[in-house]
Amino acid sequence: MNSVKNLPEKTIERLSQYRRVLLDCLRQGKYNIYSHELASLLHINPVQVRRDIMLIGHNGTLRKGYDVKRLSDMIGTIIDSKEGQKVAVVGVGNLGRAIMTYFQGKRTKLVIAAAFDTDPAKVNRVIAGIRCYAASEMEEVIRKEGITIGVITVPPDKAAESAEKLVMAGIRGILNYTPVALNVEPHAYLEEYDMVTSLEKVAFFVKNRS
């Protein structure tokens, strides 16, 4: 079977990036785009763009390229859920707040619906338009609101317990920004990102350039 559920992981990432570019195009009044344009905007190969687009079953027009609006909508049908999904941020510190600010109004289908912290100075306040609850209310709020995704931005030594609480609350996916590998399988899909690793990677390739 070759359905949309079996799309390669890398294709999913690129679809998100294509849409970002496409939405930009729409804002600029550009209604058609060639595979090589999309490719060069994202520093990838045009063939890869065409292949990804083929995989999701979209059709371009010869000599006119892809219809920006249609393609962007098509990507939406693949990566968005119809009813949307709600996100919670756990840990309203520097990074948590930055993310909350950043996301406001970015995507209609993916909304940060709550934040959690233990600091009394933050609890029950509204930050970047998002209500901050006490960490102890996590399970209740997550269930009540139907939140499916958690973003973890607590101090490293609180990461494991936060993940556990999220899982207890029935969360289905976690995006972990702490430098602590979590153990939530098979309860939730896990994505981890460490900025130090990215920076060290850049440093390595800088060092070894010809």
Partner DNA sequence: ATAACATTGTTATTTTTGTAACAAAAAGAA
Partner DNA sequence: TTCTTTTTGTTACAAAAATAACAATGTTAT
| Residues found near ligand NAD in the complex (CB under 6 A) | 90-96, 98-99, 101-102, 116-119, 135, 153-156, 158, 162, 177-179, 195
Contact 42, 95 (CB under 8 A): no
Calculate helix-pair angle for 68-79, 9-27, nearest 10 degrees. Answer: 140
Cβ–Cβ < 8 Å for 96, 125: no
Q: Which residues contact 1 (CB under 8 A, 6 or more apart)?
A: none
Compute the radius of gyration of the chain from its Cα atoms: 20
Cα–Cα dist 48/51, whole Å? 5
User: Binding marks (x or -) toward DNA, 56..75, rule CB under 7 A?
Assistant: --xxxxxxxxx---------
Among residues 63 and 207, whose Cβ is nearest to its own copies? 207
Site residues for its own copies, window 153-192 (CB under 8 A)?
Answer: 172-175, 179, 181, 183, 185, 188-191
Binding mask 53-92 for its own copies (x = CB under 8 A): -------------------------xxxx---x-x-----
Q: Which residues contact 35 (CB under 8 A, 6 or more apart)?
A: 46, 47, 49, 50, 53, 60, 65, 66
CA distances, 202 to each of 14, 43, 45, 112, 142 (Å): 21, 17, 22, 31, 37
Residue 135 binding result from ligand NAD, its own copies, DNA, none, given CB thresholds of 5 to 8 Å by partner type? ligand NAD
Minimum distance from residue 77 beta carbon to ligand NAD (Å): 25
Kindly tell me which of 61 and 203 has the beta carbon lying closer to its own copies.
Answer: 203
Cβ 35 to ligand NAD, closest distance in Å?
26
Q: What is the tally of helices (H) and strands (E) in the chain?
A: 8, 9
Using CB under 8 A as the criterion, which residues of the chain lie in contact with its own copies when the complex forms?
A: 4-5, 9, 12-13, 16-17, 20-21, 41-43, 78-81, 85, 87, 93-95, 97-99, 101-103, 106-107, 109-110, 148-149, 151, 172-175, 179, 181, 183, 185, 188-191, 193-209
